[in-house]
Amino acid sequence: MTIKPEASVNAVLSGTSANAIIDLNGTDNVIIDGLNSGGSSLTIRNTNTSGATIRFTADATNNIIQNAIIEGAVTTSTLGVVTIGTGTTTGNDNNAILNNTIRDRSDGTGVPANLVYSSGLSGTVTNSNINVSGNILKNFTANGITLPLVGSSNVNDNWTISNNMIFQESARTTGMSGISFSSSGINSITLNTIRDLNTSNTVTGILLLDARATNVSRNKIYNMASTSGSTSTLTGIQFQGASGMPASVTLENNMISLVPSFTNNQVVRGIYDFSFSANTLKLYYNSIYIGGTSSGSNASWAIVRGASSPSSFTTTNNIAFNDRTGGGTNHFAAGDQSANAGIFNSNNNIFVGTGTVAGNFMDYGTSATGTPVPPSTWQAGPPTRDANSQFSNPGGLYTLSNMFFSSIDLHVATDNNPASNAGTNIPGSATDYDNDVRNVTTPDIGLDEFAPCSLVLNTNDSGFGSLRDIIGCSLDGTTISFASTLMNQIITLTSGEIGISKNLTISGLGMANLTISGNNNSRIFHTTPGNLLAINNISLKNANAPSPNGGALFIESNLNLENVLLDNNFEDGIIPKGISINSTGQVQFLGNVIINE
C-alpha cells in the first residue's frame, strides 16, 4: 500500500500523541511517499514531547518512508522523531527512511532529543537491514541518529547510513553527536555530511560503540564552531568500542576539519580511539585538519589512541595536520597513550603539529594529557613505527594553503604536495573520497588521489577543480586540459579575468565544444611579460574590458592561437575587440583562428 498526497496538495498531518502520529505496529509493505515534487508535499508532525512522530514496532517489515517532512518535539532520550522500536519475534526488519527532512517543529517551539532512534528487543530480536539515506536531519539536543546498546547487547544489525546531512541551525547547551552507533552484522556509514553541531557542551561527529564490521568512509565533518567560552571536548570521530566484544571499525577516506571559531580552552581530537583490547580500528586515507586558537592548557590531537586503550590499531596513508596554536600547550599531530600495549601499526602518514617545544609534536606514553616526544622517539617505539612517514611543524610544504584547498575542503591544493605518490597500496582500498581510482603502486596520502594540477573538472568560476584554480596551482610549462564531462559546456567567469604569469598551454575540447565566457564584464586572460601562453581548441566569448586594453585577451607576453574562436568581445562595451597587445607582446596564429568582432 502506498500513501501519498494528491497532486498539487501540500498536506499537513499534525497532532499530539504520547505514542506516535503514525504507528506501524506489525505493519508490512507500506510506502509513505511525500512526493515533494509537482506541487505536492507531506508534513507529518507530533507536538507531544513524549511521543514519536513515526514509529515502527512489533516486527514491522519492508516499509519505506520517503520524501516527507517529519517533525517532532520528543524529549525522551529513548525515542526519536522517527523511532524503530522493539520487535516481538524477528524484529523490525528491511525498513527504509529515504530522502526526508526530519527535524524539530517548524510551527512553534520544540526541539527533540533524537531525530532517528532504533532499539530492538534483544541481541537475538534485532532491527535488521535498515537503510537511512539521503535525509536532511536538523535540530536536536542529543543525537541525529542513535543506535544504542541495551545493557551489553547490540539490538541492531546490518545497517546502512548514507548521504545524510546532519546539522544544527542554532547553538545548543547539551552534549551531542551527529551519529551514535552500535550494531552487529556488516554496517556502512558513508557519504554523510555532519556540520555545525555548535554547543557549549561536548560534541562528537560520529561516536562508534560496539560497532561490528563497520566501514565508515567518505564522510565530511566540519564547521564545528563551538560557542564562546566553551571548555568542552570536540571530537570528529570517536571509537569507543566495547569491552570483550569484537568491535571492528575501518575509517577510510574521511574528511575531518575541526576549527573552533572562538579562542577557548578545549580538548580537540580529530580521530580518537578509546576502545578495548578485543577491539580493532583501522585508519586508511583519512585527512584531518585541526585549527583555531587555544586559550588554555588543554591539548589537541589530529589522531590519538587514548590511555588504557590496548586495541589493535592501524593507521596508514593518513594526513594528520594539527595547525592549532596558542594556550602554551601541545598541539600534537598524533598520539599513542597506550604505548607498547595492544597492537600498533603505523606507516606512510603525514604528521604535522607543534609542541610547547616545537619539535616535540608527537605524543608517546601513558598520560591522557599527552607525553610530548620528537618524531625519532615516536618512531623508535616500541613497537617501531612510521619509518616511511613524514613529520614537520607547520611551514614550508606543510602549510594549509599548500596541503589543502581550504580549511573546510581537504582536497589537495597543489602539485607541489608532499602527499603525492607517498603512500603504500592497501588491498581493498581501491578508490578515494571522490570515488576516483587509486594508484595501486604509489597512491597519494590522504583522502584525495589527485592527478597533476592540470585537469579542469567543472564550469565553476573558482574553487576546487575550476579553470581559475587549475591555472593558479599548475606548474610552469603545464598543459591544461578539460574533463570530458565539460563537452558542450560554458565556463563563465564571474569574478574577473584570470591572470597568467607562467608558461602554459590551454587545450580545449574543440572550438565548437567548449567556451570560456567573460560574462560581458571582464577580460578572460591577462598575461604578464616573459612567458608563452598557447591556446587551442576552444572559444573565447562575451568578454568586455575598459580601454585601452579591452577584449578577451590582454597580452604582455607571447601568445600562440590554434583552432580558436574569438566572438562577441568588446572594449568599453561598444568597440568590438578580441585581443589587446602591448609592446612586450607577440601573437602567432598557427591555424584556423576565427575572430568575429
One pLDDT digit (tens) per residue for the chain, 597 residues = 999 998 889 999 999 999 999 999 999 999 999 987 777 899 999 999 999 999 999 999 999 999 999 999 999 999 999 999 999 999 999 999 999 999 999 999 999 999 999 999 999 999 999 999 999 999 999 999 999 999 889 999 999 999 999 999 999 999 999 999 999 999 999 999 999 999 999 999 999 999 999 999 999 999 999 999 999 999 999 999 999 999 999 999 999 999 999 999 999 999 999 999 999 999 999 999 999 999 999 999 999 999 999 999 999 999 999 999 999 999 999 999 999 999 999 999 999 999 999 999 999 999 999 999 999 999 999 999 999 999 999 999 999 999 999 999 999 877 679 998 899 999 999 999 999 889 888 899 999 998 667 889 899 999 877 999 889 878 889 999 998 999 999 999 999 999 999 999 999 999 999 999 999 999 999 999 999 999 999 999 999 999 999 999 999 999 999 999 999 999 999 999 999 998 888 899 988 999 988
User: Given the DSSP bridges, would you call strands 10-15 and 41-46 parallel, antiparallel or unpaired?
Assistant: parallel
Beta-carbon contacts of residue 487 (< 8 Å; ≥ 6 apart): 509, 513, 514
**Domain presence at residue 479:** yes
Contact 469, 442 (CB under 8 A): no
Do residues 24 and 129 both lie within one domain? yes
Do residues 499 and 430 both lie within one domain? no
Stretch (H or E) spanning 492: strand 489-492
- Say how far apart CA 127 and CA 89 lie, in whole Å: 11
In this structure, what C-alpha cell is assigned to residue 262? 572562538
**Domain presence at residue 563:** yes
Q: Which SS3 state, helix, strand or coil, does residue 467 take?
A: helix
In this structure, what C-alpha cell is assigned to residue 340? 607498547
Q: Which SS3 state, helix, strand or coil, does residue 457 take?
A: coil
* Number of domains composing the chain: 3
Do residues 54 and 174 both lie within one domain? no
**Domain presence at residue 340:** yes
CA 163 to chain centroid, in Å, comes to: 11
**Domain presence at residue 155:** no
Identify any residues that bridge with 392 across adjacent strands, giving them in sequence order.
Answer: 352
Domain containing residue 384: 168-450
Do residues 526 and 573 both lie within one domain? yes
Do residues 318 and 413 both lie within one domain? yes
Best CA proximity match to 248, nearest among 224, 293, 281: 281
Contact 242, 209 (CB under 8 A): yes
The string of DSSP codes covering 347-401 is ES-EEE-B-SSTT--EEESS-TT--EE-HHHHHHSSSP--TT-EEE-SBTTBSHH
Do residues 201 and 304 both lie within one domain? yes
Q: Cβ atoms within 10 A of the Cβ of 393, count?
A: 16
Do residues 339 and 477 both lie within one domain? no
**Domain presence at residue 226:** yes
Question: What's the pLDDT score for residue 7?
Answer: 86
- Say how far apart CA 280 and CA 520 lie, in whole Å: 58
- Say how far apart CA 321 and CA 334 lie, in whole Å: 9
Do residues 260 and 332 both lie within one domain? yes
**Domain presence at residue 290:** yes
Do residues 216 and 345 both lie within one domain? yes
Do residues 483 and 521 both lie within one domain? yes
Do residues 531 and 562 both lie within one domain? yes
**Domain presence at residue 418:** yes
Q: Where a domain ends, among 410, 434, 450?
A: 450
Do residues 393 and 439 both lie within one domain? yes
**Domain presence at residue 403:** yes
Best CA proximity match to 199, nearest among 135, 162, 144: 144
Identify any residues that bridge with 491 across adjacent strands, giving them in sequence order.
Answer: 516
Residue 530 φ/ψ region, left for φ over 0, alpha for ψ in the -120 to 50 degree band, beta for the rest: left
pTM for the model stands at: 0.81
- Say how far apart CA 203 and CA 353 lie, in whole Å: 22
- Say how far apart CA 92 and CA 118 lie, in whole Å: 10
Q: Where a domain ends, among 416, 450, 484?
A: 450
In sign, the C-alpha dihedral spanning 106, 109, 115, 120 is negative
Q: Where a domain ends, among 391, 424, 450?
A: 450
